[in-house]
């Protein structure tokens, strides 16, 4: 009988620790980019859905933006279609774009919606084509290869960038019982569809809604210094210094740029957290410890 009481007391302590954070974020909007291991590990998928539902039930308004690159790659392989990348961006011709829309807007999006429903919540799946939610334009990639005398513009096909986020639909959903789940597919004024990096979609959604937080789930512990220690509580100025001195480089740079863009546009904080940790989102926002890197403007 003693052990269960100890466990109950520990649980109560955790709940009371979360109370001031719940009070602080009551009624606030948080945008969470969902990707990495958290999207493929069954236990992590269910823990993520419960985290999102818990946030909604305590009065916080989560918006989920998801990726799905590995799912697209797997499906293209099954169809005998080759995946080609330039600087980490998938070259997306018209046939590939059809697969992207089917996988992201259909299979992946609806799986996340269903996971939230299984946890007991209400979610609604969207792409940027619903209500012209994400107006996009073609992404022009400039290659600065040393072999070239001048920059070369590489045509990536249906790869786009966010031009505008239509907030009316999102505000309507945020004020309801429904949790928006957004696939990163945009559309231009002519109705042409574009595949957009999910980190950037999440950042632009957070900026457009003046969200309290932008949270990017990754497969790493967070931003690390040159000694391998996780850094947190960073100002945007400090992050720029870490980019300049080479601490931040390679694949981490695009995520950092998304985080910086958000906080410089008015989002209170951006977080790069370890999605391999069960309940990573709740640990980051409702406990004292956290599980990643926090970035703020000042």
| Residue 21 resides in a domain | no
| Residue 12 resides in a domain | no
Query: Which residues, in sequence order, are CB contacts of 144 under 8 Å at separation 6+?
Result: 151
What 8-state DSSP symbol labels residue 108? I
CATH of the domain at 131: 3.40.1160.10
pLDDT recorded at residue 146: 47
| Residue 158 resides in a domain | yes
Asked if 160 and 129 count as a contact pair (C-beta separation under 8 A), the reply is: no
Asked if 124 and 63 count as a contact pair (C-beta separation under 8 A), the reply is: no
| Residue 200 resides in a domain | yes
| Residue 7 resides in a domain | no
In a structure prediction context, what are the per-residue pLDDT tens digits for the chain, which is 298 residues long? 455 776 778 778 878 889 999 999 999 999 999 988 788 889 999 999 999 999 999 999 999 999 998 888 888 889 998 878 877 778 888 999 999 999 999 999 999 999 999 999 999 999 999 999 999 999 887 665 444 444 567 778 899 999 999 999 999 999 999 999 999 999 999 999 999 999 999 999 999 999 999 999 998 888 888 888 888 899 999 999 999 988 888 888 889 999 999 999 999 999 999 999 999 999 999 988 778 899 998 8
Asked if 267 and 249 count as a contact pair (C-beta separation under 8 A), the reply is: no
- The count of domains in the chain is 1
By C-alpha distance, which of 81, 88, 105, 92 is closest to 194? 92
Asked if 65 and 34 count as a contact pair (C-beta separation under 8 A), the reply is: yes
| Main-chain dihedrals φ then ψ at residue 253, nearest 5 degrees | -55, -45
| Residue 59 resides in a domain | yes
CA distances 26 to 19, 21, 105, 120, 212, Å, are 10, 8, 30, 20, 10
Q: How far is residue 156's CA from residue 8's CA, in Å, rounded to a whole number?
A: 55
Angle between helical axes of 198-208 and 167-174 (0-180°, round to 10): 80
pLDDT recorded at residue 148: 40
Q: Which domain holds residue 80?
A: 26-296
| Residue 128 resides in a domain | yes
| Residue 6 resides in a domain | no
């Amino acid at each position: 009988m003693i052990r269960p009481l100890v466990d109950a007391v520990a649980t109560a302590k955790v709940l009371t620790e979360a109370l001031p954070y719940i009070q602080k974020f009551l009624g606030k909007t948080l945008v969470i980019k969902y990707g990495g291991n958290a999207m493929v590990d069954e236990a992590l998928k269910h823990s993520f859905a419960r985290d999102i539902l818990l946030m909604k039930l305590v009065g916080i308004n989560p918006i989920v933006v998801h990726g799905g690159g590995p799912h697209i790659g797997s499906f293209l392989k099954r169809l005998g279609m080759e995946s080609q990348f330039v600087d980490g961006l998938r070259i997306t011709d018209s046939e590939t774009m059809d697969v992207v829309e089917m996988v992201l807007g259909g299979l992946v999006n609806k799986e996340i919606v269903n996971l939230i429903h299984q946890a007991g919540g209400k979610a609604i799946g969207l792409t940027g084509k619903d209500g012209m939610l994400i107006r996009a334009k073609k992404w022009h990639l400039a290659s600065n290869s040393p072999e070239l005398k001048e920059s070369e513009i590489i045509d990536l096909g249906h790869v786009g960038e966010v031009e505008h986020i239509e907030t009316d639909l999102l505000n309507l959903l945020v004020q309801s019982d429904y949790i928006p789940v957004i696939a990163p597919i945009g559309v231009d004024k002519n109705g042409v569809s574009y595949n957009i990096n999910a980190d950037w979609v999440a950042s632009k959604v957070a900026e457009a809604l003046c969200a309290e937080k932008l949270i990017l789930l990754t497969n790493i512990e967070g931003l690390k210094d040159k000694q391998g220690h996780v850094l947190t509580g960073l100002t945007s100025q400090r992050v720029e210094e870490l980019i300049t001195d080479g601490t931040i480089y390679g694949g981490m740079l695009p995520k950092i740029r998304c985080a910086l863009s958000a906080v410089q546009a008015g989002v209170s904080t951006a977080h790069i957290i370890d999605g391999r940790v069960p309940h990573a989102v709740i640990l980051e926002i409702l406990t004292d410890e956290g599980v990643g890197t926090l970035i703020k403007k000042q």
